Amino acid sequence: MFKKLAATALGGCLLAVALCLGLLPVTALAADGIELYVGGQQIKESGCYENQNGTWKKVDGTEPANGQFSYDADTFTLTLNQAMIVNYQNVTVGGGFTYPGSVIAFSQSADVSLKIVASQGTSNITGTGGIRVVSKAGDASLSISGPGSLEVNVDKNDSGISLIGSKNVNLNIDGADVKTLAAYYYGVDLHAGDGFKAAAVVNNGKLTAGGSGGIGIYYRWTNPSDSGTSSLTVSGNAVVDTRDSKILIASQASEVQVSAGSDGNGGIVFDGKSGTVYSDVTLQEDLEIGTDETLTIGKDASLTVPDGKTLTNDGTIINNGTLTGEVGGSGTVTPKITTDSLPNGTVGEFYTATLQATGNNITWSASGLPDGLTLNSDGTITGTPTAEGTSTVTVKAENSAGSTSKDYTLNIKPAMVPVTGLELNKNSLTLQEKGSNTLTVTVKPADATNKDVTWESSDTDIATVSEDGTVTAISAGRATITATAADASGASASCEVTVTHGNMVQTPKKDATCTAYGTEGYWTCGICGKHYKDEGGTVPTTPEDAVIPAIGHEFEGGLCSVCGARDASFSPALVSGDGAKWTKGSSKGLTFVSSAAFADLVEVRLDGRVLSASEYVVREGSTVVTLPAKLLEGLKAGDHELLIVSGSGTVRASLTVAEAAKVEEAAKAEKASADELPANGDSTAPALAVAAAAAAGAGLVLLSRRRAAR
Ligand SMILES: [Zn+2]
Ligand SMILES: [Zn+2]
């Protein structure tokens, strides 16, 4: 008592100094009133610690290496990395109190909330006492988080984990695998202030607790008659396992309130050999149920054994909820009938249905089965029903772990009358495209059990058929519509459907010209719009395929012989007659040939004068101009120039007129002149040339028009 007073006086002095200097925030001051002892040594400074020859020494680093722990004074957190913390000596803390314990957090004046992180692997805490969190003034809280494991083994005079508060005590395990075994006291000792709360929460991890006298987790108060509330909450598929001991509460008035956390999956709690599944649980590690152990799945709970995990049941699983996945082992699982409904039967036809259930060693029984049916020991219902009707069948599945019953409605229908034939109202049908007509079917006999038919078209591009037999014409052609009985008889009937085109509209043939394409004649259906070479619509074509290409010009002498179009690239040339000589007195004329087209002739000029039509003769081939002797006789002796002017150009020829010589020379000259005449020329027959020109028709007209225009 004296020591406690002294410590309080010292604390008050420090408080006064701190407040005067304004150095420390109030929370830091409160923390200053909390002491931490690890392995019997008081730890004050944040940092990493390593065990060197039995003493924890501060070393460099921020994260603890393998075998080390780190301490964060700001958050009051110990992080263990496969650390081995041992202490067999009693520890004297502030106020002169002495405790056993390998990890001790203590305060006389404040709440104490110690956090332990098992960062990886397995860390060990061993000694006369394990982890002890004590608040002489308020709450004592301990949280242990993973993802690593923590083993607390106490083989001397104390509990594995002791939370001793003047007010509430809180143990929180989150994501860690914690095992705490105490040879003399309790695995977990939750010792709250009288009337205060003792709570343990295990989320997404495991707490295995065992202790002397079979007490794994002990909830208690100094005065049992003044106990507060107690709770154990499991969530995130956590497991709390006290199978070698039990969960005990030091109160006659109440029980530990066990429940699933409100968010996510629940967990499994083994209170001694009785396990209970709370809410929905998916096994995170293999689970074995021993021969003398029982696991109960509540009505609203479920247990799922995922692939890769094993549930071995050598004891009893009482399944009042949902059990999913394989269950191994030689134990018993309460039957749970999983068959939802029974199939209908038919009078006179053999019936079989198999009932399914989870569980094993099941004995089946049933009441209310229709006449002719029996339930066999393997859960199958077999037999041949003798009468139609509806029965309520109650099935019971039973084994040493319990029994379940389920009611089914079982319909027995009258004996089947098969379809013997179908008849359609039409065997053939002709429809125009887009037209429709409904076929009707008669099912024989009239009392056939199943009068349903199915309809089918052999070519849905030609015609389709709906469920009520309405045929719709799609495109010209032929298709078969078939109705088939829906029962197993295979009876059917068919109708041949011919689909015709609508009005055929003709596009007449149009010839191509030199420059414009033409088209072959074709027919177009007024309904489907498709094109055909024939009015019957059997030979398809397209407007593109019917095109006749333009034939192109046939140019001769600078003009198209078909359409008269001019060839811009053509220039006429003088073919023959240049340099002709003519002697006066000669009877024959002179002939000149231009390569220009006959029809293209504009005029003929002699020495610049346009000759009148009567002064010369012109004929085709290409343009052949003959100056008759009569005209030549009137020219002066000497050189002259003849121009044949065509639409495409002008050709020039020179000619020479000589005076008559001696008779002999004149005859000689005349003979030479005759020799020079072109082979196709016949200048001595102007009448014939005119006749030829007349035969040329259009060419002559063109020639006449051009001359008239002059
Ligand atoms: Zn058509
Ligand atoms: Zn042409």
**What spacing in Å lies between the alpha carbon of 528 and ligand 1's midpoint?**
4
Shortest-distance ligand to the CA of residue 560: 2
Shortest-distance ligand to the CA of residue 565: 2
**What spacing in Å lies between the alpha carbon of 545 and ligand 1's midpoint?**
18
**What spacing in Å lies between the alpha carbon of 558 and ligand 2's midpoint?**
11
Shortest-distance ligand to the CA of residue 505: 1
pTM: 0.55
- % of the chain surpassing 70 pLDDT: 88
Shortest-distance ligand to the CA of residue 431: 1
pLDDT surpassing 90 at residue 11: no
Res. 74 pLDDT band, cuts 50 70 90: very high
**What spacing in Å lies between the alpha carbon of 515 and ligand 2's midpoint?**
7
Predicted local distance difference test score (pLDDT) of residue 20:
38
Quick check: 393 and 368 in contact, CB under 8 A?
A: yes
CA distances from 565 to 515, 553, 646, 690, 702 (A): 10, 8, 14, 25, 13
Shortest-distance ligand to the CA of residue 528: 1
Shortest-distance ligand to the CA of residue 474: 1
What does the mean pLDDT of the chain come to? 88
Candidates 601, 589, 692; CA nearest to 645 is 601
- % of the chain surpassing 90 pLDDT: 77
**What spacing in Å lies between the alpha carbon of 86 and ligand 1's midpoint?**
99
Shortest-distance ligand to the CA of residue 552: 2
**What spacing in Å lies between the alpha carbon of 561 and ligand 2's midpoint?**
6
Predicted local distance difference test score (pLDDT) of residue 665:
57
Mean pLDDT of 300-310: 95
Quick check: 351 and 370 in contact, CB under 8 A?
A: no
pLDDT digits (tens, 9 = 90+) for 605-654: 999 999 999 999 999 888 999 999 999 999 999 999 999 999 999 999 99
**What spacing in Å lies between the alpha carbon of 564 and ligand 2's midpoint?**
6
What is d(CA 469, CA 689) in angstroms, rounded to the nearest whole number? 84
Shortest-distance ligand to the CA of residue 513: 2
Predicted local distance difference test score (pLDDT) of residue 226:
86
Res. 672 pLDDT band, cuts 50 70 90: low
401 vs 76, more confident: 76
Quick check: 130 and 152 in contact, CB under 8 A?
A: yes
pLDDT surpassing 80 at residue 19: no
**What spacing in Å lies between the alpha carbon of 553 and ligand 2's midpoint?**
4
**Torsion angle, alpha carbons of 436, 440, 441, 445, to 10:** 180
**What spacing in Å lies between the alpha carbon of 175 and ligand 1's midpoint?**
76
**What spacing in Å lies between the alpha carbon of 527 and ligand 1's midpoint?**
5
**What spacing in Å lies between the alpha carbon of 467 and ligand 1's midpoint?**
26
Res. 660 pLDDT band, cuts 50 70 90: confident
Backbone CA torsion sign across 24, 28, 34, 40: negative
What is d(CA 618, CA 601) in angstroms, rounded to the nearest whole number? 9
Q: In what order do the strands lie in the sheet with 638-646?
A: 580-583, 649-658, 638-646, 601-606, 609-610
Predicted local distance difference test score (pLDDT) of residue 402:
86
Predicted local distance difference test score (pLDDT) of residue 707:
38
Shortest-distance ligand to the CA of residue 551: 2
Category of 402 on φ-ψ map: left (φ > 0), alpha (ψ -120 to 50) or beta: left
pLDDT surpassing 50 at residue 194: yes
Shortest-distance ligand to the CA of residue 462: 1
Mean pLDDT of 43-49: 96
Tell me whether strands 590-594 and 574-576 are parallel, antiparallel or unpaired.
Answer: antiparallel
Shortest-distance ligand to the CA of residue 556: 2
Predicted local distance difference test score (pLDDT) of residue 227:
86
Q: How many helices and strands in the chain, by DSSP H and E?
A: 6, 71
**What spacing in Å lies between the alpha carbon of 430 and ligand 1's midpoint?**
14
Mean pLDDT of 45-56: 96
Quick check: 573 and 558 in contact, CB under 8 A?
A: no
Give the single-character DSSP code of 309.
-
Candidates 557, 554, 552; CA nearest to 571 is 557
Res. 669 pLDDT band, cuts 50 70 90: low
Shortest-distance ligand to the CA of residue 524: 1
Mean pLDDT of 52-61: 94
Helix (H, G, I), strand (E, B) or coil at 129: coil
Shortest-distance ligand to the CA of residue 566: 2
**What spacing in Å lies between the alpha carbon of 606 and ligand 2's midpoint?**
33
What is d(CA 269, CA 277) in angstroms, rounded to the nearest whole number? 7
Tell me whether strands 492-500 and 428-432 are parallel, antiparallel or unpaired.
Answer: parallel
**What spacing in Å lies between the alpha carbon of 596 and ligand 2's midpoint?**
16
What is d(CA 535, CA 525) in angstroms, rounded to the nearest whole number? 9
Res. 262 pLDDT band, cuts 50 70 90: confident
**What spacing in Å lies between the alpha carbon of 512 and ligand 1's midpoint?**
28
Q: How many residues does the chain have?
A: 710
Mean pLDDT of 661-674: 57
Q: How many CB atoms lie within 10 A of CB 15?
A: 16
Q: How many CB atoms lie within 10 A of CB 502?
A: 17
pLDDT surpassing 90 at residue 689: no
Angle (CA) 597 598 604, round 5°: 110
**What spacing in Å lies between the alpha carbon of 550 and ligand 2's midpoint?**
10
Shortest-distance ligand to the CA of residue 564: 2
Residues 6+ apart with CB under 8 A from 1: none
Task: HSE, CB side, 13 Å, CA atoms: give it for residue 288.
Answer: 6
**What spacing in Å lies between the alpha carbon of 247 and ligand 2's midpoint?**
116
**What spacing in Å lies between the alpha carbon of 508 and ligand 2's midpoint?**
23
pLDDT digits (tens, 9 = 90+) for 90-123: 999 999 999 999 999 999 999 999 999 999 999 9
**What spacing in Å lies between the alpha carbon of 408 and ligand 2's midpoint?**
95
**What spacing in Å lies between the alpha carbon of 699 and ligand 2's midpoint?**
15
**What spacing in Å lies between the alpha carbon of 522 and ligand 1's midpoint?**
13
**What spacing in Å lies between the alpha carbon of 518 and ligand 1's midpoint?**
25
Assigned token pair, 357: 């259930």
167-171, 504-508, 681-685: which range is least confident on average?
681-685
**What spacing in Å lies between the alpha carbon of 459 and ligand 1's midpoint?**
16
Reduced DSSP (H G I as helix, E B as strand, rest coil) percent helix, strand, coil of the chain, to 5: 10, 45, 45
Quick check: 109 and 136 in contact, CB under 8 A?
A: yes
pLDDT digits (tens, 9 = 90+) for 693-706: 443 433 333 343 33
What is d(CA 410, CA 428) in angstroms, rounded to the nearest whole number? 46
pLDDT surpassing 80 at residue 556: yes
pLDDT surpassing 60 at residue 197: yes
pLDDT digits (tens, 9 = 90+) for 459-489: 999 999 999 999 999 999 999 999 999 988 9
Helix (H, G, I), strand (E, B) or coil at 213: helix
Helix (H, G, I), strand (E, B) or coil at 26: helix
Predicted local distance difference test score (pLDDT) of residue 233:
97
Helix (H, G, I), strand (E, B) or coil at 386: coil
Predicted local distance difference test score (pLDDT) of residue 671:
60
**What spacing in Å lies between the alpha carbon of 566 and ligand 2's midpoint?**
8
Mean pLDDT of 420-436: 95
Res. 255 pLDDT band, cuts 50 70 90: confident
pLDDT surpassing 90 at residue 384: yes
**What spacing in Å lies between the alpha carbon of 448 and ligand 2's midpoint?**
80
Residues 6+ apart with CB under 8 A from 580: 590, 592, 653, 655, 656, 673, 676
In this structure, which residues have their CB less than 5 angstroms from ion ligand 2? 514, 553, 560, 562-563, 565
pLDDT surpassing 60 at residue 157: yes
Candidates 254, 259, 308, 258; CA nearest to 282 is 308
Assigned token pair, 180: 């705490």
Candidates 343, 493, 490; CA nearest to 418 is 490
Res. 150 pLDDT band, cuts 50 70 90: very high
Shortest-distance ligand to the CA of residue 475: 1
